[in-house]
A and B are shown apart, each in its own frame.
Chain A
Amino acid sequence: MPTITIDGQIIEAADGAMLLPVALEHGIHIPHYCWHPKLSIDGSCRMCQVEVEGSPKLVIACNTPVRDGMVVHTSTPRVETTRRGVMELLLVNHPLDCPICDKAGECLLQDYAYAFGSRHTRTREPRRKLEKRKDIGPRMILDQERCILCRRCVRFCREITKSNELGVFGMGDRSVLDVLDDAPLANPYSINTADICPVGALESKDFHHKVRVWFLKKTPSVCGSCANGCNITIHHYRNQIWRLMPRRNDAVNETWMCDHGRLNYQFVQSPERLRQPLLRRDGGLQPCTWDDAIGEAARQLYHAAHAEGGGAIGAIASPHLTNEEQFRFAQLLQALAATHVDLAVVEGPADDVLVKAEKAANARGARDMGLRPAPGGAGVPRLLDAAAAGQIRVLYVCGADLWETADRAALERALAGVHCLIVQDVRRSPLAEHAHVVLPSLTFAEKTGTFTNHAGRVQRVHQAIAPAEGQLSDGEIFTRLLNRVTEGRWSFEPTAVLAEIAAAVPAYQGVSFARVGGLGWPLAETASATPTGAGTAQGASV
């Protein structure tokens, strides 16, 4: 273990580590553009130059291995003059676009120009004219004038997505970042290049000219678009989501996220959102109060369970709800002795970078909470057949996944066979048109709780958006139903429900919000193999 001294601070570094990451880890900030923790070393920006005693020239910290007894100075007059020179050269051709640039406010060039640059420009020559607003892919635009040629994006496309779309063409002061005409930047991770771009050269079309970054409030959360559970930050302002950004978690998504997940947030603020419970009256769905809707749903469930037994109730859980909500739903179904319980999950293509096949955040958590067919209970296909045969009196469907995955003809037959359909969803789906009771629910951005990703990592979501007035979360709806059905006095408080989960589900023993923290908490390895709750090996077939 080499021991080095940076600015008088004595640091134990790992063998073969580079100077820059070691300094950053210990809170010594060395300015840099081209170095990125998850990409290879390029050494092209020359911004991280530092003085090492015994070395005649300044060295770049990103590509200098630590050596025992090394003494490093990061802010001597020589280093500062060099930085100012580097900044001046980078700014020679940089356009004065800050007022219209989406990056302004989180731009490294801006920050370092304030910190290390000189106040005035000494050049009088016109700046380089290149292509602005170049359409380089379905989700990205490129402003070549703004590029400082750090090549982070080039290395990203070469090393992470291995698709090699971006490249630097030309030589010397004619170098320009570009794509080939027949190979646009269309890989499923393309917007990450906008995140890692230290300036505003690469911009996401979705966020282009939408809102200034300094107005955005940031709430840590977890992406809900697939089972991988990438850690994200929700950037919101005026109670609207403006973008989702990846949040670094080396155990899950490093610093990346896929474009599909990143752009999948408009449904939260869609005008099609259900805001009021609906009841079927006089042949049509009509708005009603929560008491009426929950009362009617509870009455139907209670009568079915007591007149014909738990087999007369069918329940399809949603893989989009938090663990706490799934747990309450499982409790409700247990209280009704329902056996025909299953989970519907949309499946799609997966890849070997991040994207997983199950297109929902918490399918694993739902199964762990016991939302899977009980012994003698039916999975989705058999459940629909049973409903078509008139054996199921009340069908309780959460989410829209059933509508998207189930065989349409079988579903139509099943809907004709049930006496009462309860639909709980965030949008008015086609399924809701058949319903007797429609319960509007909330999205991942509007509630607090935990998700369990495909690998059994419990991760926390926080409320970013205030729900519309009078809206209830799924957990609150389940709890009210549970109280009606059992005459209990439960309340829905995520912290308390998580404690109930820790006590009731063996795999989740010891889980708490404090333990989950910002980066999640992995369940014990054996937990994934042991079936929990009342589940059996036939599991949740979709």
Chain B
Amino acid sequence: MATRTVTVVRPRSGGHSWWVSPLAMLQGMWIAQRHFLRNLWGWIIGKPTVFTVQYPEQRLIHPGAFRGMPVLVQMDTGKERCVACGLCEWACPTDCITIFPAETADEIERYPRLFDIDMSRCMFCGLCEEACPEEAIVMSQRVEIGAFSRRGTVWHKADLLVPADQLMDTRLHHVRRSYDR
């Protein structure tokens, strides 16, 4: 096979003259200063013009499809909706849910005596919510799982309970719509 030699000609510098660099620096400074002054003015007159959210003092309200950590839905009676059927425990890809069922004298005869979620293992996938036949475990807006020990990242039933009316707008409507319930 015959070889073909190609000579590539490249410009020596970036094609700019030397005086462009200080100009670019000045331009960058101007952009930063412009933002600073605009933010400062917005802050003084009380109408911030930037998107930055001052977390943790300010928090965003996420859309319904947002998946934060899973929580348990609490009924008006103060009890959990969960009947400890174990489907979320089975569906969970990271095995972060632990349930011990028990019997009560109520009409719904089963309840979780213990319901633990290890948030350090949870990957917020939402499969537990999809598996749940009772609409008892749903994804929430919460994302803060920080703790001072590994044991602290395990959330118990009492920590996980959230009243149903608080979850209605944020997630329950979305769940009913997306899973055709």
Asked if A133 is at the interface (CB within 8 A of a chain B CB), the reply is yes
Among A99, A132, A210, A214, the residue within 8 A (CB) of B90 is A214
Q: Check A212–B83 contact: CB distance below 8 A.
A: no
Q: Check B90–A209 contact: CB distance below 8 A.
A: no
1/0 contact string of A211-252 vs chain B (CB within 8 Å):
110110000000000000000000000000000000000000
Query: Provided the pairs A209-B101, A210-B101 are in contact, do residues A99 and B109 lie with their beta carbons within 8 angstroms?
Result: no
Asked if A100 is at the interface (CB within 8 A of a chain B CB), the reply is yes
Task: Say how far B110's CB is from chain A's closest CB, in angstroms.
Answer: 4
Asked if B86 is at the interface (CB within 8 A of a chain A CB), the reply is yes
Q: Check B85–A212 contact: CB distance below 8 A.
A: yes
Q: Check A209–B109 contact: CB distance below 8 A.
A: yes
Q: Check B109–A212 contact: CB distance below 8 A.
A: no
Closest to A210 in B: B101
Among A132, A133, A208, A215, the residue within 8 A (CB) of B86 is A215
Asked if A98 is at the interface (CB within 8 A of a chain B CB), the reply is yes
Residues of A within 8 A of B37 (CB): none
Task: Say how far A509's CB is from chain B's closest CB, in angstroms.
Answer: 48
Residues of A within 8 A of B159 (CB): none
Residues of B within 8 A of A100 (CB): 83-85, 108-110
Asked if B40 is at the interface (CB within 8 A of a chain A CB), the reply is no
Asked if B165 is at the interface (CB within 8 A of a chain A CB), the reply is no
1/0 contact string of A94-116 vs chain B (CB within 8 Å):
00001110001000000000000
Query: Provided the pairs A99-B133, A133-B109 are in contact, do residues A104 and B103 lie with their beta carbons within 8 angstroms?
Result: no
A209 vs B103: C-alpha distance when bound (angstroms): 6
Q: Which of A209, A210, A214 has the most CB of B within 10 A?
A: A209
Give how many A residues have a beta carbon under 8 Å from the other chain's beta carbons.
13
Residues of B within 8 A of A214 (CB): 86, 90
Asked if B145 is at the interface (CB within 8 A of a chain A CB), the reply is no
Q: Check A99–B101 contact: CB distance below 8 A.
A: no
Residues of B within 8 A of A99 (CB): 83, 85, 87, 110, 133-134
Q: 8 Å CB contacts to B: which residues of A114-153?
A: 132-133
Asked if B114 is at the interface (CB within 8 A of a chain A CB), the reply is no
Residues of A within 8 A of B83 (CB): 99-100
Q: 8 Å CB contacts to B: which residues of A398-443?
A: none
Query: Provided the pairs A100-B110, A133-B109, A210-B101 are in contact, do residues A215 and B90 lie with their beta carbons within 8 angstroms?
Result: yes
Residues of A within 8 A of B158 (CB): none
Residues of A within 8 A of B103 (CB): 208-209
Task: Say how far A217's CB is from chain B's closest CB, in angstroms.
Answer: 14
A321 vs B91: C-alpha distance when bound (angstroms): 41
Task: Say how far B114's CB is from chain A's closest CB, in angstroms.
Answer: 12
Task: Say how far B115's CB is from chain A's closest CB, in angstroms.
Answer: 14
Closest to B102 in A: A209
A104 vs B87: C-alpha distance when bound (angstroms): 11
1/0 contact string of B57-96 vs chain A (CB within 8 Å):
0000000000000000000000000011111011000000
Task: Say how far B134's CB is from chain A's closest CB, in angstroms.
Answer: 6
1/0 contact string of B19-63 vs chain A (CB within 8 Å):
000000000000000000000000000000000000000000000
Q: Check A211–B90 contact: CB distance below 8 A.
A: no
Residues of A within 8 A of B101 (CB): 209-212
Residues of A within 8 A of B110 (CB): 99-100, 209
Q: Which of A132, A210, A211, A212 has the most CB of B within 10 A?
A: A212
Residues of A within 8 A of B133 (CB): 98-99
A491 vs B134: C-alpha distance when bound (angstroms): 55
Task: Say how far B105's CB is from chain A's closest CB, in angstroms.
Answer: 9
Q: 8 Å CB contacts to B: which residues of A33-88?
A: none
Residues of B within 8 A of A212 (CB): 85-86, 89-90, 101
Residues of A within 8 A of B108 (CB): 100
A209 vs B113: C-alpha distance when bound (angstroms): 11
Q: Which of B85, B89, B108, B134 has the most CB of A within 10 A?
A: B85
A211 vs B85: C-alpha distance when bound (angstroms): 9
Task: Say how far A95's CB is from chain B's closest CB, in angstroms.
Answer: 12
Task: Say how far A81's CB is from chain B's closest CB, in angstroms.
Answer: 27
Task: Say how far B41's CB is from chain A's closest CB, in angstroms.
Answer: 58
Task: Say how far A224's CB is from chain B's closest CB, in angstroms.
Answer: 28
Q: 8 Å CB contacts to B: which residues of A185-211?
A: 208-211
Task: Say how far B67's CB is from chain A's closest CB, in angstroms.
Answer: 23
Task: Say how far A243's CB is from chain B's closest CB, in angstroms.
Answer: 14
Task: Say how far B26's CB is from chain A's closest CB, in angstroms.
Answer: 68
Task: Say how far A336's CB is from chain B's closest CB, in angstroms.
Answer: 49
Closest to A100 in B: B110
A158 vs B71: C-alpha distance when bound (angstroms): 50
Residues of A within 8 A of B87 (CB): 99
Mind listing 23 A-B residue pairs with CB under 8 Å? Answer: A98-B133, A99-B83, A99-B85, A99-B87, A99-B110, A99-B133, A100-B83, A100-B84, A100-B85, A100-B109, A100-B110, A104-B85, A209-B84, A209-B102, A209-B103, A209-B109, A209-B110, A210-B101, A211-B86, A211-B101, A212-B101, A215-B86, A215-B89
8 additional A-B residue pairs with CB within 8 Å, beyond A100-B85, A210-B101: A99-B83, A99-B85, A99-B133, A133-B109, A208-B103, A212-B86, A212-B101, A214-B90
Q: Taking beta carbons and an 8 Å cutoff, which residues of A are in contact with B?
A: 98-100, 104, 132-133, 208-212, 214-215
* Leading 5 A-B pairs by shortest Cβ distance: A99-B85, A212-B86, A100-B110, A209-B103, A100-B83
